Amino acid sequence: MTEAVGGRSHGCGTLRAGDAGREVRLYGWVGARRDHGGVYFVDLRDRSGIIQVVADEEATEEARAALAGLRLEDCVAVRGRVRRRDERNRNPERPTGEVEVLVERVEVLARCDRLPFEIVDDLDAPEELRLRYRYLDLRRRPMLARLELRSRANHAVRCQLVEEGFLEVETPLLTRSTPEGARDYLVPSRVRPGSWYALPQSPQLFKQLCMVGGIERYFQLARCLRDEDLRADRQPEFTQLDLELSFVDEEEILAVVERVMARLFAEILGRELPLPLPRMSHAEAIRRFASDKPDLRNPLEICDLGRQAGTIGFRIFDDALAGGGLVRGVRLPGGARLPRKRIDALEQACKDAGAAGMAWCKVGEDGPSGPLARFLGGDAGAAFLAAADCRPGDLLAVIADRPRRALVALDALRRAAGRELDLVAGPDRLLWVTDFPLFEQDDDGGWFPAHHPFTAPHPDDLEDLLAGRREGIRSRAYDLVMNGVELGSGSIRIHRRDVQEAVFAALGIGPEEARRRFRFLLDAFRFGPPPHGGFALGLDRLYALLAGADSIREVIAFPKTTAGGCPLTEAPAPIDPEQLAELGIRFTAERGEAEKE
């Protein structure tokens, strides 16, 4: 007869030498099974850890037979007595290694079929297979440890913010489509055919409405959804710590975020995070590192060679400069020792980032060598190398291209060179990047908001903005960067109507269009909106860094693939015609599009 489930006395990983002699009832999965000449050993595993269960000559025949008949990952209940292991058989690498449980009774709660992969810590299986059977993958200790880290981190975040007077407020998942830089996921309305909800890309507008509503200090561990192309650090749905505060300036918001980060470092990593964090303007970050998210563990910096590049007679440099482009490079100390194959790999990284190529030379005691060397003779060549502070034994790599493409390629070059020369080392490096431009220009000359259209301009540039200027206007926006990864961004928001109208005008958004796209927010701003600002911290990225994971998928219980699919549930999947009919939608297969009937 099967006993009623319940009455667990201990977790498998909680038993210690002091428990010797106790009668225990344990539940878990069979992690390993060994037969030593009629003496049977099983590693019983639950969330708390692993305990060795044994049936030897002291056990009954029934108990030995039950243990002998178990299969890997069977779910079982075990009754037995804790005893100390012989000293020579103790396992110092396991917290329960001093004891074992002598079996009195084993009950199989559920049998396990043949496994698609072995449940081991150092699993070598394709990610697609792991995601298809994610529930089995989660039984592995590394995956469980990452979810435990995430849970503890979420708790620490909530505790810190509640202690600082924040209210946790949930905002809607079904809302109106508003332009926020990526495609919305749309949800058709059954009761209002032809109308659609959008899933939120972020709670941006709602958290600002919370400030109008007098909440003053809001936070949320918010689920956000964006229909965009995916990479290792992106998912169609992700979680961010969302903050908004009233009657504050940048200093107060940055200080709150720093205290949250310090608590996470202390409770999750057991390390002190020195505060305040260093800061760097956006202009300085671009000048020195060609990136607004530089990895400060990498000592390589960008050198501007534009002035000297036009004097050496290299047509590619001349053409880039004539077209308003950049000529900038990276000096790789000791890089002259790199073989051609590894230099080619650096050039490929630049090409993958969009550049047409990479010019380079090695610097020796007798002068430069390599493809660029023939243009570097005489005083002009010497001045070119001196501008990059080149020394014998160095490699100089140069990119010449349009500004946006050149900067992306230089960032890729710097990161790849840091890896090639094994330069990225040291403790975690965090910094604030501040004073972002309010507007950016695309390759076609159009202007768009660098963050979002509700970001406040820098006070010193407000007069120029109101006069209609767009280029060079700084914003009150700030990003938090860790080890070359953007963890989050925020800004002080616009709460003055004339300033908001000036920003809309600069973006080519007229009053009617602005009201159509943002009516509910603009209406709210008629009723005494307070000065306010906020921040959003990407928790998936942060937790992946804290866990040392290669991808954010490793810290998400049920992630999507880079193609946006779920191997476990096989989503996205076709919908029954009856469901579509209820929504007033017909799918036209020939055209590959959905249309309203």
DSSP string, 322-346: HTT-EEEEEEETTGGGS-HHHHHHH
**Backbone phi, psi, residue 485, to 5°:** -115, 130
Average pLDDT over residues 2-14: 80
Q: How confident is the model at residue 180 (pLDDT cuts 50, 70, 90)?
A: low
pTM: 0.92
| Contact call for residues 287 and 373 (beta carbons, < 8 A) | no
Task: Work out the number of other CB atoms within 10 angstroms of the CB of residue 289.
Answer: 25
Residue 93's domain comprises 12-110
Residue written as tokens 């396991």?
A: 94
Residue where a domain stops, chosen among 84, 110, 136: 110
Average pLDDT over residues 125-141: 97
**Are 214 and 318 within one domain?**
no
The answer, yes or no, to whether residue 178 has pLDDT greater than 90, is no
**Are 89 and 209 within one domain?**
no
Q: How confident is the model at residue 527 (pLDDT cuts 50, 70, 90)?
A: very high
Picking from 159-168, 334-343, 382-391, 468-477, which range would have the lowest pLDDT averaged per residue? 468-477
pLDDT of residue 90: 95
What's CA 439's distance to the chain center, in Å?
A: 25
Output the domain CATH number for residue 77.
2.40.50.140
In a domain, 374, yes or no: yes
The answer, yes or no, to whether residue 159 has pLDDT greater than 90, is yes
Residue written as tokens 């960032």?
A: 411
Average pLDDT over residues 83-96: 94
Spatial separation of the C-alpha atoms in residues 486 and 432, rounded to whole Å: 10
| Contact call for residues 530 and 493 (beta carbons, < 8 A) | no
Residue 43 parent element (H or E): strand 39-46
Q: How many domains does the chain have?
A: 3
Q: Which two tokens stand for residue 203?
A: 């709670």
The answer, yes or no, to whether residue 595 has pLDDT greater than 60, is no
Residue where a domain stops, chosen among 78, 110, 142: 110
Spatial separation of the C-alpha atoms in residues 563 and 391, rounded to whole Å: 46
Q: Which two tokens stand for residue 351?
A: 């090409």
**Backbone phi, psi, residue 411, to 5°:** -60, -45
Average pLDDT over residues 228-253: 91
pLDDT of residue 498: 85
**Are 104 and 154 within one domain?**
no
pLDDT of residue 589: 57
Q: In what order do the strands lie in the sheet with 359-364?
A: 302-304, 326-332, 395-401, 359-364, 367-369
Picking from 466-470, 533-537, 586-590, which range would have the lowest pLDDT averaged per residue? 586-590
Q: Using the 8-state DSSP alphabet, how is residue 227 labeled?
A: B
Output the domain CATH number for residue 382.
3.30.1360.30
Amino acid present at 90: R
DSSP lists the bridge partners of residue 491 as 477, 534
As a three-state string, the secondary structure of 394-452 is CEEEEEEECHHHHHHHHHHHHHHHHHHCCCCCCCCCEEEEECCECEEECCCCCEEECCC
Single out the residue of 496, 495, 522 nearest to residue 509, CA to CA.
522
**Are 409 and 308 within one domain?**
yes
Single out the residue of 480, 486, 483, 539 nearest to residue 152, CA to CA.
539
Residue where a domain stops, chosen among 110, 138, 169: 110
Q: Using the 8-state DSSP alphabet, how is residue 571 labeled?
A: B
**Are 246 and 333 within one domain?**
no
Task: Output the CA angle 168-171-174, nearest 5 degrees.
Answer: 160
Q: Using the 8-state DSSP alphabet, how is residue 494 labeled?
A: P
As to burial, measured by CB atoms within 10 angstroms (0-12 exposed, 13-18 middle, 19+ buried), residue 413 is buried
Average pLDDT over residues 118-144: 96
How large is the C-alpha radius of gyration of the chain? 30
Q: Which two tokens stand for residue 339?
A: 């073989």
